Amino acid sequence: MRLGIKIICGILAVLAFGWLMNYVVKTIALKDFKVLPKKEILVFGDSHAECSFKEEGTAIQNFGVRSETPNLTLLKYKQLTDEKRNKNVIITLSPHNLSSWHRQRFFVNDSSGATLSKYWALLDNNYLLDHYSTLPAKTRLLLHLKKITGAPNIEPTFKIKSTFIGGYYRGKDTSLVNISEANKAIKRHYGKNGLNCDKHIPASQLLKEYYKDLVSYIVNHNSRVYILAVPLNINYRNQICDKSYEEYDQFLLELKAEFPEIDIMDYSELELPDHYFLNPDHLNNAGASYFSQLIQSKILHQ
């Protein structure tokens, strides 16, 4: 009898601790997650957004985070206050964002667990079930246990406060854009067969639907949406398969047909000097400074 009571009390204690930790994590993570005054352009997306736009001295607020998928971007956008209404919203989108390998990496492989931990304050168990049911059973179980116990990413949350605002690439000044680095980037975005166009796998329908959901929500909340492709170094661009470009261009046409009020801004072939690139597909600090001023001028003074 006493053993049973102890077990029940232990379970209740774990649940109580988990509730408390999830509350603390959410409170700290969301404390400063808001649109800042005088910021008229909000940027969302993965590392292409994170490293391409500077906030200092501009009307831009950058919410980009490396490896972010559009379903998680939508969670972030919904969390922001009503200040986001009537803003100019940039969503970065490049061919790799639609790749089936991208879907495999973040919705099927174990690596998803680390990615999701950054968004813990925005997730619940139902969301994990609805959107990540394709993860391995072991990974799903671990994620749910973490959610129940409040265990994930607690220490980084205390240190960083908002773990779903990027900072991995942002502000760096190095530059490495050779062919070897470009090939590595292609494999990172399209898988080990990314350089073999004969083995091209069609773009992910799931990611396309998530992007449509994201655009639809933002458009319906009275913001002007810009779908933007950031500058890519020529060594990287030349390695992307034609079929990936064709699928990407077709998807942009679909978005424009479904949401005629959006603007498409393709700067992927903008010729920039090599020293503006951190690596073949990311701008460095100098490149971001130049590009931010360019885009701000285009949007606010058109």
> What are the tens digits of pLDDT across the range 191-222?
988 899 999 989 999 999 999 999 999 999 87
| Interatomic CA distance for residues 186 and 208, integer angstroms | 20
Pairing of strands 277-279, 282-283: antiparallel
Residue 44's DSSP bridge partners are 91
Residue extents of the structural domains in the chain = 1-31+120-152, 39-112+164-300
In this model, does residue 133 exceed pLDDT 80? yes
In terms of Cα–Cα distance, which of 292, 36, 53, 291 is closest to 171? 53
The three-state secondary structure class of 52 is coil
Amino acid identity of residue 85, one-letter, is R
In this model, does residue 294 exceed pLDDT 50? yes
Give me the mean pLDDT over the 13-36 stretch: 79
What is the tens place of the pLDDT at every residue in 155-198? 444 444 445 565 556 656 667 889 999 999 999 999 988 899 99
In this model, does residue 268 exceed pLDDT 70? yes
| Interatomic CA distance for residues 157 and 136, integer angstroms | 26
State both tokens at 25.
């994590």
Report CA 25 to chain centroid distance, whole Å: 20
CATH class of 39-112+164-300: alpha beta
State the alpha helices, DSSP H only, in 221-277: 234-237, 242-258
Neighbours of 222 (CB within 10 A): 10
Amino acid identity of residue 248, one-letter, is Y
Which range (40-54, 83-97, 114-128, 147-161) has the least confidence?
Answer: 147-161
